[in-house]
Amino acid sequence: MFLFIVVLCLMTVGVLVLSNKEYRNSMKGKLFLSTSLIVIAFLVIFIVLSDYTTIDKCLDNGGRWNSLLQECEYK
């Protein structure tokens, strides 16, 4: 949830930067936009890999992943 809020804030500021033509064409604006895009990309990758590793750990420990409940079940 926290990561979602961070991404949403970065995207909002990015839209504001893009709407200001003078700032958009400045070096500071371009640096901010490129940094924001890189941070968003890393956050998305982190979220995807986090889910993958949780499921993988469950299966490695002999459990069964319940996708409806999003939890590991042991027999």
- Does residue 8 surpass a pLDDT of 80? no
Answer yes or no: pTM beyond 0.85: no
The Cα 28–Cα 50 span in angstroms is 33
pLDDT > 70: percent of the chain:
84
34-52: average pLDDT: 79
Per-residue pLDDT at 1:
59
Q: Are 64 and 75 in contact (CB under 8 A)?
A: yes
Residue ranges of alpha helices (H) inside 1-75 are 2-19, 21-25, 27-60
Q: Are 14 and 36 in contact (CB under 8 A)?
A: yes
